[in-house]
Chains A and B, each alone.
Chain A
Amino acid sequence: MTTQMTKAPILSVENISKSYPGRRGTRIPVINDVSLELAPGEFISVIGPSGSGKSTLFQMLAGILRPDSGSVAFHGDDRKEPFSAYMPQKDLLMPWLTAEDNAALGLTLGGMSKRDARAKVGELLSTFRLDGYAKAYPFELSGGMRQRVALLRTMVIERPVLLLDEPFGALDYLTRTELQLWLSNICAELGLATILITHDVPEALLLSDRVYVLSDKPADVRMVLELPEPRPRTLDYMETETFTHNEKLLLEVLTESGRGAH
């Protein structure tokens, strides 16, 4: 369970805590002393029970919220601020934009011309298995395709750290598994530093180099699990003893923390 950092981290989160104002001036702690590290090209997952403050943690990583104490430090090129690109759970595609224009949204908002942005998105369409759908409107796409457009929108802006908040939570089981395998390939292929927030244990095990297990609210890091097996992994990995052992282990820790609340 010891972290063996081969490369210097690109992002280090040290002892961050966050609380929200409660009734009569009290504070409700949500995140309690959480630390994590991400190296370039690494894929880490943060897993926790529902309502464990995962989204709060995520918003702090995305720079939308500021932690009460502790720090979120980015060690890469300072000129690349904001360093993270985030993909929320909802696809949030604009119904009035075609698939390519939705995917190009971050580029055009950043000041790129529509033509250049479309060209850049166009190069990636086949990687995201969206060939032939550039001019389709969101309502003409399937759930999995919409999610891939949202992912393309997040990745095409090329920020150093990719943040995914339960990106496949709203999809059916088969589509979700398909997209997980595909994402695993893409992230390994492009060497993306990625943080995935999820409550899906197999998803975390299949995709990650390291899994951070959060406790129930207020969330602290209950366990850090290293997964040294090479990525990208295939479905065969789900048959291995390591996988089933880890799955059982994680479920035990997660349900135990769930019971702890009562």
Chain B
Amino acid sequence: MTGGVIGGSSVVRARAAGGKNRERFRRSASDSLLFRFLSPLFVAVAAIALWHFTVVIGQMPPTVLPTPMRVLEAATQNSDALWANTGPTVFVALVGLAASVLVSIILSTAMAFIPVLRTATLPVLIAAQSIPVIVLAPLFVIWFGFGLGPKILLIVIAGTLPMTIALLQGFLSADPDAMVLMRSLGANRIKVFLRLQVPSSLPFLFTGLRVVASFAVLAAVFAETVGAQSGLGIYMMTQKNMLRTDLVLAAAVVTVLLGLALFAMTYVLETIAMPWERRRKAMRSE
């Protein structure tokens, strides 16, 4: 009788322990860095496999959809041309991104200090944002020609608004009690801005930067498709006209990689700019 009870309870205990272990395993597996890198990689490999078998089973001609291997082969054979056209696109995207950050900083700072400016210019900026890039890109070619300048300008026009709004939101997110404290400690308006509002805006800055970064490569490529001397966009158009679908896709893969690299760059910058966040994250994952 007693033996039965002991046996029963130990079974329950064992089961409970097993459940806890499984739970712990599940949590640690989904949290580990390796898993975080491997799981998207797995999805990417699965998508490529799906692509490959679609082509093989559907017996598609390479001009419609080449296999992933064929795209890779075409890319290595034409790597010089791909590289030559990647340069201008990267340049346009990076300079456009940097310029829109610079313009946003100037605009949002002015708007943080002068409320009238905020109410007067925000609607105009939003209106400017609603003009589609599809319309602007060809017009810019007509107005300013095929050079890199008009493409950078296009990214600045489209990228400045989200950045400006993000930064302004960041400046205004500073705790009003902290502002009173700073004033009582002898800070003037400019010092409150530099020592409180600017650091408060950093998380907003990087969120905005990620939005604009993912969009910058896309806008650069699109602007090039309309007309350019070189760049991934015009390269894709040329190859498409020659029915080199494999090279169009190779250029598309390069575009994706560029976007990812730019996105990763925002995280690197964030870590450098906000060392306290790095320590906080490290503490949380422990």
* Interface set of A (CB-CB < 8 Å, partner B): 62-64, 82, 85-86, 88, 90, 92, 94-96, 105-106, 109-110, 137, 139-140, 153, 157
Do the beta carbons of A109 and B187 come within 8 Å of each other? yes
What are 26 contact pairs spanning A and B, CB under 8 A? A62-B184, A64-B180, A64-B183, A64-B184, A82-B186, A85-B184, A86-B181, A86-B184, A88-B180, A92-B177, A92-B178, A92-B181, A94-B196, A94-B199, A96-B202, A96-B274, A106-B185, A106-B186, A109-B186, A109-B191, A109-B195, A110-B186, A137-B276, A137-B279, A140-B279, A140-B283
The distance in angstroms between the C-alpha atoms of A224 and B196, with both chains bound, is 40
Do the beta carbons of B178 and A94 come within 8 Å of each other? yes
Chain B residues whose C-beta falls within 8 Å of the C-beta of A153 in the assembled complex: 185
Q: Which residue of A lies closest to B187 (CB)?
A: A109
Chain A residues whose C-beta falls within 8 Å of the C-beta of B180 in the assembled complex: 64, 88
Nearest Cβ distance between residue B198 and chain A, in whole angstroms?
10
Chain A residues whose C-beta falls within 8 Å of the C-beta of B177 in the assembled complex: 88, 90, 92
Which applies to chain B's interface (DSSP): helix, strand, loop or mixed? Answer: helix
Do the beta carbons of B276 and A109 come within 8 Å of each other? no
Which applies to chain A's interface (DSSP): helix, strand, loop or mixed? Answer: loop
Do the beta carbons of B181 and A139 come within 8 Å of each other? no
Nearest Cβ distance between residue A181 and chain B, in whole angstroms?
26
The distance in angstroms between the C-alpha atoms of A88 and B184, with both chains bound, is 11
CB-based closest 9 A-B pairs: A106-B185, A96-B199, A109-B187, A137-B276, A92-B178, A109-B185, A110-B186, A109-B186, A92-B181
Nearest Cβ distance between residue A197 and chain B, in whole angstroms?
15
Q: Which residue of A lies closest to B199 (CB)?
A: A96
A139 touching B280 in the complex, CB below 8 Å, given contacts A88-B177, A96-B199? yes
Nearest Cβ distance between residue A203 and chain B, in whole angstroms?
22
Most central of B181, B202, B274 by chain A CB within 10 Å = B181
Q: Is B175 an interface residue (CB 8 A)?
A: yes
